[in-house]
Structure 1
Amino acid sequence: MPLPRARPSLPHILPRPGGTRDRALSAPPTGGARCGQPRRVSVLSPGGLRGGDWCRQRVRPRAGSRHPEGAETGAGPAELRLRLQHPEGAPRRGGSAVPPPGSAGLGHRRPQPTGRRQTRTRLCAALSAPTWPPAERRKYRPVPLPASWPRPPHEPPPPPPLSATPLPTLERGNRGPGRARQGAPPGRLRRAEAAPFPGNGLRVAGSGADSGTMSGRAGRRRLVLHVDLNNTVVAADAVSGLGPREALNIFLSTATWGREGADGEWQWVSDRPSLRAPCPGAVSYYCRYGRDQAFTESGPGQCFSSLHAQHLRLLEWPGEPHQELSMQDGHGKHYHFILPSFFRLLDALHRDGRDFTIIFRTFGTDLPRTLLALRSALAGQHPQFPALRDLALPVVLTPGQICCSKREVVLKRGSERLTTTEDGRKLYDYFSSLEGIGGFQDHFDWWARNQFSSQGGKPLWIDPHDPSIHHIFIDDNIRLDDADTIVHPQVFSERGSSSPRCAPTSELYDVCLVQTDLLEAIANEDYFLHCVRRCEENYDGYLARMESGSLSQQSDGQ
């Protein structure tokens, strides 16, 4: 009579035919096991009968079979599987098990479940064996050694115990290089975000200058540098056709101070140039007599001729002239077109890993050539700054325009067009988001119509409630007198406001406004770097005063 087909109940546990495990199952028992005695069968380990196996089954001979010793004398895996599923005397579906004939001496067996309940019961019994998992699969758990035991020299000391002081909370900056994982529980950041470091945009709340809503981390803000050209980073004026020799003379006339005597002759009150008046009542030579291209060649300014010659020698171009980085004057000599101190500023900011952008702001027409010179320098063609080739800053060669009127300020560059008619923050957001190096030509006629005062100057927007951005304007015509200055600063005093207030120059002098000393910029390569660092140091105090409301009260009183 053929064996009935049965559903295999444990296909992932029972051995496959022909393998090592089959031979282990069909091997004769050791230790004189008798037919009908329970034996331990390992169906997972190739070692066969071995202590610590996790599965135990009773294998009984079939009554009346040709091989009464079936399980011990080479029963195949299919027949063994069938015997494990359906012990002799158990009905195929439903009912309870009955002891097989001839097994009275073995004792009565407890009724066994059949069908799917049998499969589920046997599988659960196998998985819940007390010896699971096997000993060789248990993980090794090292026991920490006492702190007093000597340690090898290469082993680091144990970490100090956690203190009860709560750790500072981490806040993510606006422009950090990573974001916290969506849905992560509070306080859990990736390894790269676990602690603030220069450049990752993290700030520690409640620590020093970083506390407060408007204060940020000094030295880590994004810098937006608005830079003038003539007599600031370019010692020349292409509009009037002036070279370095004439440009130096004009600057010296603005930085030397004196007064008219009783006889009407000019008398110097200081023999050293300075940006501010050295004493009350002093007037610059420029304010009294106007521009003088030959200031040091004759007349009262001849006493400064040696100073003029010294700085002119510092401007000479070393080696072979460059078509874009050098320029030639009327005497056949070649000079730096852009001051080396400006390239030194770019190199230092790049080495410090700073995030910055350069926006040239000029009334003149030197923008196209200046942008071409910057592109050549960033290509590594400057003999004194070859490392600038590593500075990955795009140069936008298309200059833009800024037109001002009583109603609005309009910005145009290529297909871009922005206006402050509906929202005064549009241009602030635009300048704050610019990348690389570009330039804009400001509205000179509007400045002249406003008698060269601050009201008609180059507009600059500042938001002290945005601590991640620092706008700095560098120009040689910035002065503390609002009636004679070139920049029109506008500050958003209220958080999220779209209507800025006009701020006096004295409020932002050496904070967001830098008056260029051309002589120092020529003689000291770190000049612009020092100016930027001084503004960053003063900006922290400015934000603190704005947060306390002291500056707002002063502006309301004025």
Structure 2
Amino acid sequence: MSEASSAHLVLHFDVNETIMIGDPAGGDTYDDSLNKILAKSAFCRATGPLGKNGACDITPTAWHDGTPMAESPPAPPPLQPGWTFDTPPGAAAFYKQPALKRAHAKKFADAGSPGAVYAAQRERCRAALRWAHAPHPALSSEDGAGTLLPAFYRTLDCLHRSGRSFSVVLRTFGSDLPRVQAAINAFARGEHPDYPEGAPGLELPAERMWRGRYDEGGRFSLQPHDEGSGAPTITDEAEAVRALSSPGVSGVMDHYGWWDSHGNDPAAGKPLWLTLEEATTRHLFFDDNIHNDPQDSIVSVRARRDGEAAAFSPLSGAQICSLHGAVLRRVPTMQPVLEPDWFLAEIEACGERLAQLRRGQAWADLLST
């Protein structure tokens, strides 16, 4: 058994548009989200140098291959779900262009939007998500689909049946934890028709639901998600990591106000903890809004040298980008929608990449900072 596969696995999953389509609490309908997950993988031909956050001074009018957005080609330019973008120089993300995002992201594949050329891709995603069973109040959405992605349930089931030691931490900036809690608990009890055996031990109890908060000094703590829930307040960061790493499922409503007020700075995002010399526990964060941008990271990797007394400190944006595919993974959501084994494959691929990094100079450089 490899080092990566024998380590206790701590999987952090963002909720909205990573494992759940639709965000009623945040104002996005099911169709809004379905359109947005495609828009996030669309690229345009840049109209000049890219400014802050990848925006062009002049709104693009052509796709990345030069096809005018006003045309309807028989085969649309391929969507680009990868971390690196292999197209001619000068490509710009559709979702990072303010005018395009504002006008079209939530209606991306609708008639009248430039993204209407991707309507067939949207319908493939819709078909893959369609709930095939009788409605269940916790497992079904009002749109005839499952509350959570089939790929997410499959991941939980496969890990549970494998006997592997693992934890799941649900991470969100929104108010959707109670909705996800209901779905997870129904699955664990065996109420999902595809998994009637259930998964004892994977319930999300109230005492494992927290609000993650930074203080003015940038120290992170866990506070109860709801008063009277029985969740303890944990002010020591190392203790917080131990609590979230214990086998089972936890939920954290992360500190959006802190991240937003710091301009999306990598040091202010959802924390992910990395003890550099430890090989017995492996953390991996899945989120659709991880960007290949050293100035904009929704995940803040906080690292320390091995040892209980060492404090966690945020890595730089460039260091965080270098760890993509090892301890954090951007989720191009249309892929797990269409590929039920996508999360499982990425867990293994990221483990292999982490093992490679540990043997190389980049890891030695991290240890020296």
Structure 1 length normalisation: TM-score? Answer: 0.56
Report deviation, 1:546: 7.4
> Which residue, 64, 68, 92 being the options, matches 1:283?
92
Distance 1:549 1:236, change over 3 A: same
SS of match in other structure, 1:490? strand
> In the aligned structure 1, how far is the partner of 2:79 from the partner of 2:363?
38
> In the aligned structure 2, how far is the partner of 1:265 from the partner of 1:242?
25
Of the structure 1 ranges 497-506 and 455-464, higher mean CA displacement relative to structure 2 is found in: 497-506
Q: Which residue of 1 aligns with 2:108?
A: 295
> Which residue, 393, 411, 432 being the options, matches 2:222?
411
Deviation readout 1:236-279 (Å, 9 max, x if unpaired): 11223323221021122221001255996511015122234333
Contact 1:372–1:397 (Cα < 8 Å) also in 2: no
SS of match in other structure, 1:336? coil
Report deviation, 1:350: 1.8
Q: Which residue of 2 aligns with 1:267?
A: 62
Contact 1:480–1:505 (Cα < 8 Å) also in 2: no
Q: Which residue of 2 aligns with 1:251?
A: 37
Paired AA for residue 210 in structure 2: G
> In the aligned structure 1, how far is the partner of 2:171 from the partner of 2:363?
33
> Which residue, 234, 255, 277 being the options, matches 2:20?
234
Q: Which residue of 1 aligns with 2:340?
A: 525
SS of match in other structure, 1:552? helix
> In the aligned structure 1, how far is the partner of 2:363 from the partner of 2:46?
46
Contact 1:345–1:529 (Cα < 8 Å) also in 2: yes
Deviation readout 1:145-186 (Å, 9 max, x if unpaired): xxxxxxxxxxxxxxxxxxxxxxxxxxxxxxxxxxxxxxxxxx
Report deviation, 1:415: 4.5
Q: Which residue of 2 aligns with 1:488?
A: 300
Q: Which residue of 1 aligns with 2:227?
A: none
> In the aligned structure 2, how far is the partner of 1:265 from the partner of 1:431?
44
> Which residue, 132, 136, 141 being the options, matches 1:322?
136
Distance 1:316 1:415, change over 3 A: closer
Distance 1:429 1:438, change over 3 A: closer
- Aligned residue pairs: how many? 331
Q: Which residue of 1 aligns with 2:364?
A: 549
> In the aligned structure 1, how far is the partner of 2:62 from the partner of 2:309?
51
- Which structure 1 segments of 5+ residues have no match? 1-197, 199-208, 210-216
Q: Which residue of 1 aligns with 2:158?
A: 348
> In the aligned structure 2, how far is the partner of 1:223 from the partner of 1:265?
42
Contact 1:510–1:534 (Cα < 8 Å) also in 2: yes
Distance 1:426 1:347, change over 3 A: same
Paired AA for residue 142 in structure 2: Q
Is 1:538 aligned to 2:353, yes or no?
yes
> In the aligned structure 1, how far is the partner of 2:335 from the partner of 2:37?
12
Q: Which residue of 2 aligns with 1:506?
A: 321
Deviation readout 1:164-221 (Å, 9 max, x if unpaired): xxxxxxxxxxxxxxxxxxxxxxxxxxxxxxxxxx7xxxxxxxxxx6xxxxxxx23111
- Decide which structure has greater helix share: 2
Q: Which residue of 2 aligns with 1:305?
A: 119
Report deviation, 1:496: 4.5
Contact 1:545–1:551 (Cα < 8 Å) also in 2: no
SS of match in other structure, 2:252? strand
Contact 2:13–2:170 (Cα < 8 Å) also in 1: yes
Q: Which residue of 2 aligns with 1:218?
A: 4
Report deviation, 1:448: 0.7
Contact 2:17–2:288 (Cα < 8 Å) also in 1: yes
SS of match in other structure, 1:520? helix
Paired AA for residue 295 in structure 1: F
Deviation readout 1:477-510 (Å, 9 max, x if unpaired): 1122132220000111354452233222223211
Q: Which structure has the larger Rg over C-alpha atoms?
A: 1
State the structure with bigger RCO (CA 8 A, min sep 6), 1 or 2: 2
Contact 2:64–2:92 (Cα < 8 Å) also in 1: no
Distance 1:391 1:525, change over 3 A: farther
> In the aligned structure 1, how far is the partner of 2:281 from the partner of 2:60?
50
Distance 1:356 1:300, change over 3 A: same
The percent of aligned pairs where both chains have the same amino acid is: 27
Q: Which residue of 2 aligns with 1:455?
A: 267
Contact 1:402–1:410 (Cα < 8 Å) also in 2: yes
